[in-house]
């Protein structure tokens, strides 16, 4: 990626929903102190328990977030799609350590904003503060859904519930369907669902045969939105 591509992203930053409530002066300060970086698939962006120097805005691609315990077992796995801010859950939190490790799940373009700058500007901007709280509330709703999912004894139902959460978190509407345009795998679905790859594969095959979903190497297509929505609300 050449410099003019980075310049394009910077020049059009105010068109992004997250930045639309900042004043022109605030945007100038954000742009002057922020940097854009390109990362290849698999690169580590930040580590769990590292000091939080930056907040991030994902301009393009997919980020995978992982939290592990002392034994190295996964406690939390999540994904962040393009045109999204992170971390909402840790914003304005006095704890200065990252709660998870971030990886580039695809090639990504990432805006890195100094944490102290964004916190200072946001606290002085009531519209942005309200927007942030609304987004945090939304994050909490789906964090609760994920916690509830861990109590489901049926591995099949955990897989289906994970697919429903992915539909809402990662998908975008295309006519009567919702599509996730990222190369998520059966293995990743199994890990997030807390089951084996074989079980996740059987569930996806059954859902495909029932005409509820299409699951390929490049995308997931949700064909029956009502079916998955009923699992969330």
Give residue limits of the domains in the chain.
4-139, 152-230
In this predicted structure, the answer to whether residue 100 has a pLDDT above a threshold of 60 is: yes
Range in 2-6, 107-111, 178-182, 196-200 the model is least confident about: 2-6
The gap between the terminal CA atoms of the chain, to the nearest Å, is: 42
Number of neighbours of residue 127 by Cβ within 10 angstroms: 12
In this predicted structure, the answer to whether residue 96 has a pLDDT above a threshold of 90 is: no
pTM of the model: 0.89
The candidate with the shortest Cα–Cα distance to 103, out of 171, 185, 167, 47, is 47
Average pLDDT over all residues of the chain: 90
Which residue bears the tokens 């994920």? 146
The candidate with the shortest Cα–Cα distance to 142, out of 165, 116, 119, is 165
Our CA dihedral for 200, 205, 207, 209, rounded to 10 degrees, sits at: -170
Our CA dihedral for 125, 131, 137, 143, rounded to 10 degrees, sits at: -110
User: pLDDT tens digits, residue range 175-224?
Assistant: 999 999 999 999 999 999 989 999 999 999 999 999 999 999 899 999 99
How confident is the model at residue 121, as a pLDDT?
96
Confidence of residue 63 (pLDDT cuts 50, 70, 90): very high
In this predicted structure, the answer to whether residue 48 has a pLDDT above a threshold of 90 is: no
DSSP string, 41-76: TT-EEE-TTSB--EEEEEEESEEEEEEE-TTS-EEE
In this predicted structure, the answer to whether residue 98 has a pLDDT above a threshold of 90 is: no
* % of residues, the chain, pLDDT over 90: 70
How confident is the model at residue 189, as a pLDDT?
95
Please give the CATH number for the structural domain made up of 4-139: 2.60.120.10
Confidence of residue 29 (pLDDT cuts 50, 70, 90): very high
Q: Does domain 152-230 have CATH number 1.10.10.10?
A: yes
Angle at 195 between CA 190 and CA 218, to 5 degrees: 10
How confident is the model at residue 149, as a pLDDT?
77
Mean pLDDT comparison of 95-109, 113-127, 139-153, highest-scoring range? 113-127
User: pLDDT tens digits, residue range 7-17?
Assistant: 889 999 999 99
User: pLDDT tens digits, residue range 156-166?
Assistant: 999 999 999 99
Residue-wise burial string across 58-79, b where 16 or more C-beta atoms lie within 10 A, e elsewhere? bbebbbbbeeeeeeeeeeebbb
In this predicted structure, the answer to whether residue 171 has a pLDDT above a threshold of 80 is: yes
Tell me the two tokens of residue 130. 């309200």
């Amino acid at each position: 990626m050449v410099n003019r591509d980075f310049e394009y992203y910077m020049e059009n930053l105010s068109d992004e929903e997250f930045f639309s409530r900042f004043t022109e002066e605030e945007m100038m300060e954000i742009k002057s102190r922020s940097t854009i970086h390109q990362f290849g698939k698999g690169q580590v962006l930040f580590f769990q328990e590292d000091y939080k120097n930056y907040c991030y805005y994902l301009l393009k691609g997919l980020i995978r977030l992982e939290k592990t315990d002392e034994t190295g077992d996964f406690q939390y796995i999540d994904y962040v799609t393009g045109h999204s801010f992170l971390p909402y859950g840790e914003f304005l939190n006095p704890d200065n350590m990252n709660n998870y490790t971030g990886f580039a799940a695809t090639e990504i373009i990432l805006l890195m904003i100094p944490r102290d700058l964004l916190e200072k500007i946001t606290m002085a901007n009531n519209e942005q503060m309200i927007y942030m709280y609304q987004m945090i509330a939304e994050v909490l709703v789906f964090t609760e859904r994920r916690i509830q999912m861990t109590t489901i004894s049926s591995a099949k139902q955990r897989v289906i519930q994970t697919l429903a959460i992915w539909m809402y978190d990662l998908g975008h509407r295309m006519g009567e369907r919702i599509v996730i345009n990222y190369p998520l795998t059966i293995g990743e679905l199994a890990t997030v669902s807390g089951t084996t790859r074989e079980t996740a594969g059987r569930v996806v095959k059954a859902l495909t045969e029932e005409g509820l979903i299409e699951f390929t190497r490049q995308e997931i297509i949700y064909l029956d939105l009502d079916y998955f929505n009923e699992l969330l609300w």
